[in-house]
Amino acid sequence: MTVCEFRPGLEGIPAAQSSISHVDGQKGILEYRGIRIEELAEKSTFLETAYLLIWGELPTKEELEAFEHEVRFHRRIKYRIRDMMKCFPESGHPMDALQASAAALGLFYSLRDLHNPAYIRDSVVRLIATIPTMVAAFQLMRKGNDPVKPRDDLDYSANFLYMLNEKEPDPLAAKIFDICLILHVEHTMNASTFSARVTASTLTDPYAVVASAVGTLGGPLHGGANEEVIQMLEEIGSVENVRPYVDNCLERKAKIMGFGHRVYKVKDPRATILQTLAEQLFEKFGYDKYYEIALEMERVVEEKLGSKGIYPNVDFYSGLVYRKMGIPTDLFTPVFAIARVAGWLAHWKEQLAENRIFRPTQIYDGRHEAPYIPIEQR
Ligand code: CMC
């Protein structure tokens, strides 16, 4: 039965009923469980926001402390996972390493008890706690170093930066990194979240859910765009080259990375906050010449494509923030995944609460009654 016309990319077609987050693409508003992103970025922490998304309400002081405590003490990864990661090729993309490692967790925790709230909580804690450790471990191992053990005295974001850079991070950098995680944690029915929900709907384990979402996030039209933005800014190289670069993209009908969004027709509110965060970092740690180029890009793209509703998205300024923190370019998308795992898990839990397996239809436009031609006659 075909109930509606075919819409490429399922544009405008609801895939779920959800109370986790909301976007108003015309006004540039993003809310998590009804709370504006600007307010959470200013007042909350990543773990508190993750709790809000997954369990639906802001935690009490005791609830938050208990959650933080559990996450803190589940950060270590098994030696066998670490040894497995050591065998990965150093030249491989860290998103592939992360996807394989997240899936491997399912081998160690293979019991599936999807109706048990304790199982849900344990899985949530384990995934949120270990994903940053896996990202940092792969980064150190591909450089030939041993991974650094998590430090229980550091909070979530400071510990990640410590594991990555092998030194205690600057407090401003750690605070800004935590805000970046808040900004990336959830964003309605995007491609990776859809992927997570489809996988969840088969009642498989949460590690498979997260692994499938990580695979989806990696593409350049989704989370992978942040990496491509920096490559693009480097390629442009100077403010004078911006206009010819944009003109050339438009001539070739090529997409300009970090611009445009299926839902936002104004500047993404997360891009506005990220731009402010980048400026705070530049003030403390020195200017980045690519920021000038980025500002000129925003001006030129707005002039040329503003009428089509093409403005900077979340990926446009995030790379400049991460660069200033010394995070390598190909870790930008894994960092996005560190945040987004909590959003995927909120959707996993919501999907399980009223599950029906995803099984859409298609419009078949192939042949019928085709003959089988023997191989020697083809
Ligand atoms: N540069 C130039 N033109 C663009 C861009 C862009 N970045 N984005 C959209 N357009 C134009 C597109 O050419 C089309 O024009 P026309 O109607 O004349 O053919 C129109 O805008 C609609 O584009 P679309 O490709 O149909 O839009 P979509 O909703 O399918 O795609 C998108 C959304 C995000 C994939 C797209 O804007 C894009 O490829 N952007 C660049 C990659 C990027 O920055 N991705 C990150 C997305 S936000 C974070 C995330 O999801 O992870």
**Domains recognised in the chain with CATH numbers:** 45-170+177-219+331-353 (1.10.580.10), 225-324 (1.10.230.10)
**Higher-confidence position of 5 and 374:** 374
Q: Considering only CA atoms, which of 44, 86, 43, 60 is closest in space to residue 342?
A: 44
Q: Which residues pair with 24 in a beta bridge?
A: 29
Q: In testing the pocket of ligand 1, which one of 245, 251, 255 has its CB within 8 Å of the most ligand atoms? A: 255
Which tens digit of pLDDT belongs to each residue from 175-229?
A: 999 999 999 999 999 999 999 999 999 999 999 999 999 999 999 999 989 999 9
Cα–Cα distance, 145 to 177 (Å, whole number): 24
Q: Determine the pLDDT at residue 218.
A: 94
Under the banding of pLDDT at 50, 70 and 90, the label for residue 110 is: confident
Q: Strands 21-24, 29-32: parallel, antiparallel or unpaired by DSSP?
A: antiparallel
**Hey, whose CA ends up nearest to atom 18 of ligand 1?**
308
Under the banding of pLDDT at 50, 70 and 90, the label for residue 271 is: very high
Residue pointed to by tokens 């000129």: 296
- Work out the average pLDDT over 284-308: 95
Question: Which residues does 277 contact at the CB level (< 8 Å), separation at least 6?
Answer: 176, 179, 180, 317, 321
CA of 259 to the centre of ligand 1 (A): 7
Question: Is 330 one of the annotated active-site residues of the chain?
Answer: no
Q: Determine the pLDDT at residue 1.
A: 57
Which tens digit of pLDDT belongs to each residue from 58-90?
A: 999 999 999 999 999 999 999 999 999 999 999
Atom of ligand 1 nearest to the CA of 249: 2
Which tens digit of pLDDT belongs to each residue from 317-355?
A: 999 999 999 999 999 999 999 999 999 999 999 999 999
Question: Is 69 one of the annotated active-site residues of the chain?
Answer: no
Under the banding of pLDDT at 50, 70 and 90, the label for residue 2 is: low
3-state secondary structure of 271: helix
- Work out the average pLDDT over 24-45: 98
Q: Determine the pLDDT at residue 224.
A: 87
User: How many residues are present in the chain?
Assistant: 378
Amino acid at 18: S
Residues with CB under 6 A from ligand 1: 9, 190, 221-223, 225, 255-262, 305, 308, 310, 313-315
Cα–Cα distance, 232 to 280 (Å, whole number): 23
CA of 22 to the centre of ligand 1 (A): 20
* b/e per residue 51-68 (b: at least 16 CB within 10 A): bbbbbeeebeeeebeebb
Question: Percent of the chain scored above 70 by pLDDT?
Answer: 99
**Higher-confidence position of 320 and 2:** 320
Catalytic residue chosen out of the listed positions 178, 184, 205, 261: 261
Cα–Cα distance, 94 to 331 (Å, whole number): 7
Q: Calculate the average pLDDT of the chain.
A: 96
Model confidence at 254: pLDDT above 60: yes
